A and B are shown apart, each in its own frame.
Chain A
Amino acid sequence: MSNLDYLILIVLAALVAFIPRVIPLLYFSKRKIPAWFDEWMKYIPVALFTALIAKDVFVTSQYTYNAKNLSEICSTILVFLVAAKTKSMLVTVIVGLISIMGLALVF
Chain B
Amino acid sequence: MKVEDKNWLNVFKIALPLCISYVPIGLACGILLHSAGFNILFTGLLSIMVFSGGAQFLIASMLAIHAPMLQVLLMLFFLEMRYALLSASLSPFLKKEPLPFLIYFSSSMNDENYAINYLKFATDKKWNGHQAVMVNHFSLLFWTVSNMVGSTIGNLIHFDVNLVNFTLTALFGYMLVMQVKNLLSILVAGLSGVLSVWLIIAMNSTMGLVIATLVASFLGFLVEHGLEGRSDPLLLRSLRLRHRHESFKELPKETTDDHE
Residues of B within 8 A of A57 (CB): 169
Q: Are B25 and A80 interface neighbours, CB within 8 A? A: no
Q: Are B174 and A93 interface neighbours, CB within 8 A? A: yes
Q: Are B58 and A52 interface neighbours, CB within 8 A? A: yes
Interface range, A side: 35 or more
Residues of A within 8 A of B197 (CB): 54-55, 58-59, 65
When each residue 44-57 of chain B gets 1 if its CB lies under 8 Å from chain A and 0 otherwise, what string results?
01100111100100
Separation in Å of the A93 CB from the closest CB of chain B?
A: 5
Known: A18-B106, A56-B165, A97-B170. Is A46-B180 also a contact (CB below 8 A)? yes
Q: Which of B5-13, B81-89, B144-152 contacts A (4 or more CB under 8 A)?
A: B81-89
CA distance A75 to B99 in the complex (A): 45
CA distance A38 to B252 in the complex (A): 10
Q: Are B171 and A93 interface neighbours, CB within 8 A? A: yes
When each residue 80-107 of chain A gets 1 if its CB lies under 8 Å from chain B and 0 otherwise, what string results?
1001100101101111110011001000
Q: Are B176 and A53 interface neighbours, CB within 8 A? A: yes
Q: Are B45 and A41 interface neighbours, CB within 8 A? A: no
When each residue 158-194 of chain B gets 1 if its CB lies under 8 Å from chain A and 0 otherwise, what string results?
0010010111111111111111100001001111111
Residues of A within 8 A of B193 (CB): 50-51, 53-54
Q: Are A64 and B201 interface neighbours, CB within 8 A? A: yes
Q: Does B248 contact A (CB under 8 A)?
A: no
Q: Are A13 and B46 interface neighbours, CB within 8 A? A: yes
Q: Are B175 and A61 interface neighbours, CB within 8 A? A: no
Please give me the residue from chain B that is nearest to A6 by CB atom. Answer: B42
CA distance A3 to B224 in the complex (A): 46
CA distance A17 to B28 in the complex (A): 21
CA distance A3 to B37 in the complex (A): 9
Please give me the residue from chain B that is nearest to A56 by CB atom. Answer: B169
Please give me the residue from chain B that is nearest to A65 by CB atom. Answer: B201
Separation in Å of the A84 CB from the closest CB of chain B?
A: 5
Separation in Å of the B148 CB from the closest CB of chain A?
A: 14
Q: Are A33 and B88 interface neighbours, CB within 8 A? A: yes
5 residue pairs, one from A and one from B, having the closest CB atoms: A96-B170, A14-B49, A43-B220, A54-B193, A51-B196
A and B contact pairs by CB, cutoff 8 A, 25 listed: A6-B37, A9-B72, A9-B73, A10-B42, A10-B50, A13-B49, A14-B50, A17-B51, A21-B84, A25-B90, A25-B91, A37-B88, A40-B221, A43-B217, A44-B82, A44-B213, A48-B213, A51-B192, A51-B212, A56-B168, A59-B201, A63-B204, A65-B197, A80-B176, A87-B246
